[in-house]
Structures are given as structure tokens and as C-alpha cells.
């Protein structure tokens, strides 16, 4: 029995190592493209350095989580696509350090559009290759939240709308912080097509607001409407968590995206 325990433990760490090694390889392969894309897109050397620093922080966070994941053998195609979305988000975030007049908003919006399109691809790949996991679902969700935060910051700081648009990026993190105070809010949520649709609409709306041809008034209407929908989505989830049943477990898998 003791030998079986050692074998099972050894196999678990081998799986963790393979998963973490795949993640490290993806981080290494993406670093140069991120640097080259940032060098072309971002206006100054300082913004490029900041971008690479953010990429390094994102990589450390990913590898830390990967090292703690013992349920997956390979990083998988879906997670690779999600990491590409992280890399695009990092490049977009680099524009925050540049003067608004130096930023090519068409290019930034195009990068955000690619990130939004890939959001559908990673879910498809997870279903196609049966690579469903709680890690993948959380990875995808946090990437969405980071992209919304970055886009809302870009819009708010560009004076295209009021700073109220920052609420779109802050809601997810306020929700997590509230869960630390009220643990009931930390329970897993069931899959919701409405939640997924609202997230995509929010990113799409913020992307549209970035476009130079969209006026301040139009951006206010578009951004405000999407923010109302996002608030309704969070309110719906909070009501379910507060008043709903307490199941033994609620599966959250990336193949449900």
C-alpha cells in the first residue's frame, strides 16, 4: 500500500511537471512575438519596457498556478489560445503608459478584436479535444476580466467618456473582494450562456468605444448600455449565490464556454 501511495504521488508530480513545462514553453515562445508586436504598436521605448514587465508578471502568475495544478497532463490547445489572448491584452495595456495622442487607436482596437475573436476559439478547442478543466475555465474568465479592465482604463483615461466607465473593469474585482468578506459569494456558479454573452458584449462595446470615429456621446451611450447589462449579470449571479441552493459541487469547465 505504501508503494502504491508513492507511485500515485510520483505520477501526480510527473503530470504537474509536464503541465508546467508546457506552460513554460508557451511563455517562452510567445515572448519574442510580444516584444516585436509591442515595438511596432507602442509609441515609445518606455511603453515597450512596461509591456514586457507586465508580460513577465503575467508569466510568473501563470507558471505559479500551473505548478499547483495536478489534474492536467498537458497545457492544451485551448489554454495556449487563452495565453495568446493574455499576450494581446498585455500589449494593449502598454498603451496606457503612452500619451493618448501618440496611440494608434485603430491598431489597439484591432488587437482587442483579435482577442475577442480568440475568446470563442479557446472554448471550441476545449470542447473539440475534450480538454475541460476548472483551471481552463478560471484562466479564461480572468483573461476576460483583465481585458475588460484594460479597455475601460484606456477609454476612461482618454476622456472619451467619464471615469464611470472604469466600473466595467472594476466589477469583477469588487465581486472577488466581496467574496473575501462574505464567503457565500465565493461558491462556484453554474454555467450561464447569459453571463458569457454579456461578457462578449461588454468587450465588444468597449472595443467600439475605442474607435476614433465613435464620438464621445456615442461612446457614452454604448459604454453605458453595456455597463448596465454587466451590472444586471453580476446582480443575477449575486442573487443566485445569496438565495439559491448550496449544491455539493457545481462543475465549471472550459468546454462549457
In the chain, where are the structural domains located? 2-252
Burial class (CB in 10 A: 0-12, 13-18, 19+), 1: exposed
Lowest average pLDDT, out of 119-128, 166-175, 204-213, 247-256, goes to 247-256
pLDDT of 2 reads: 36
pLDDT of 9 reads: 43
Name residues whose C-beta falls within 8 Å of residue 23's C-beta, 6 or more positions apart in sequence. Answer: 62, 63, 66, 75, 79, 83
Closest CA to 135 of 61, 210, 25: 61
Q: How confident is the model at residue 252 (pLDDT cuts 50, 70, 90)?
A: very low
pLDDT of 246 reads: 56
User: Quick one: average pLDDT of 212-220?
Assistant: 93
Q: What is this structure's pTM?
A: 0.86
User: What tens digit of pLDDT does each residue of 111-134 get?
Assistant: 999 999 998 888 788 777 776 777
CATH fold label, 2-252: 1.20.120
**Residue 248: CA count within 13 A, CB half-sphere:** 0
Name residues whose C-beta falls within 8 Å of residue 169's C-beta, 6 or more positions apart in sequence. Answer: 145, 148, 149, 150, 151, 152, 153
Mean pLDDT, the chain, integer: 84
Lowest average pLDDT, out of 7-16, 67-76, 90-99, 224-233, goes to 7-16
User: What tens digit of pLDDT does each residue of 36-76 get?
Assistant: 999 888 878 888 999 999 999 999 999 888 877 766 667 88
DSSP state for residue 74 in the 8-state scheme: S
Buried b (16+ CB within 10 A) or exposed e, 98-128: beeeebebebbbebbbebbebbebbbebbbe
**Residue 228: CA count within 13 A, CB half-sphere:** 5
Q: Is 117 left (phi over 0), alpha (psi -120 to 50) or beta?
A: alpha
Backbone angles phi and psi of 161, in degrees to 5: -130, 180
pLDDT of 250 > 60? The answer is no
pLDDT of 86 reads: 96
DSSP state for residue 162 in the 8-state scheme: -
Burial class (CB in 10 A: 0-12, 13-18, 19+), 183: exposed
Looking at per-residue confidence, does 168 or 186 come out higher? 168
pLDDT of 254 > 80? The answer is no
Cα distances (Å, whole numbers) of residue 146 to 9, 188, 201, 242: 35, 20, 15, 26
Looking at per-residue confidence, does 33 or 103 come out higher? 33
pLDDT of 105 reads: 87
pLDDT of 207 > 90? The answer is yes
Cα 88 from chain centroid? 10
Amino acid at each position: 500500500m505504501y508503494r502504491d501511495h508513492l507511485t500515485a504521488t510520483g505520477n501526480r508530480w510527473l503530470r504537474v511537471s509536464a503541465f508546467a513545462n508546457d506552460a513554460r514553453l508557451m511563455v517562452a515562445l510567445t515572448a519574442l512575438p510580444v516584444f516585436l508586436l509591442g515595438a511596432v504598436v507602442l509609441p515609445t521605448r518606455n511603453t515597450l519596457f512596461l509591456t514586457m514587465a507586465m508580460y513577465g508578471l503575467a508569466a510568473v502568475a501563470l507558471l505559479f498556478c500551473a505548478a499547483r495544478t495536478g489534474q492536467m497532463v498537458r497545457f492544451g490547445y485551448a489554454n495556449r489560445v487563452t495565453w495568446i489572448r493574455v499576450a494581446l491584452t498585455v500589449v494593449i495595456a502598454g498603451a496606457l503608459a503612452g500619451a493618448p495622442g501618440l496611440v494608434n487607436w485603430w491598431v489597439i482596437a484591432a488587437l482587442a478584436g483579435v482577442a475577442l475573436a480568440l475568446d470563442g476559439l479557446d472554448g471550441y478547442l476545449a470542447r473539440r479535444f475534450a480538454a475541460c478543466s476548472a483551471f481552463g475555465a478560471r484562466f479564461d474568465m480572468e483573461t476576460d476580466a483583465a481585458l475588460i479592465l484594460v479597455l475601460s482604463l484606456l477609454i476612461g483615461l482618454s476622456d472619451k467618456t467619464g471615469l464611470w466607465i472604469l466600473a466595467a473593469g472594476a466589477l469583477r474585482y469588487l465581486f472577488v473582494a466581496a467574496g473575501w468578506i462574505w464567503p457565500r459569494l465565493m461558491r462556484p456558479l453554474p454555467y450561464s450562456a447569459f453571463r458569457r454573452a454579456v461578457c462578449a458584449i461588454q468587450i465588444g462595446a468597449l472595443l467600439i468605444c475605442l474607435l476614433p470615429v465613435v464620438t464621445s456621446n456615442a461612446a457614452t451611450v454604448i459604454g453605458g448600455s453595456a455597463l448596465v447589462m454587466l451590472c444586471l449579470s453580476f446582480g443575477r449571479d449575486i442573487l443566485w449565490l445569496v438565495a439559491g441552493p448550496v449544491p455539493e459541487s457545481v462543475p465549471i469547465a472550459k468546454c462549457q464556454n
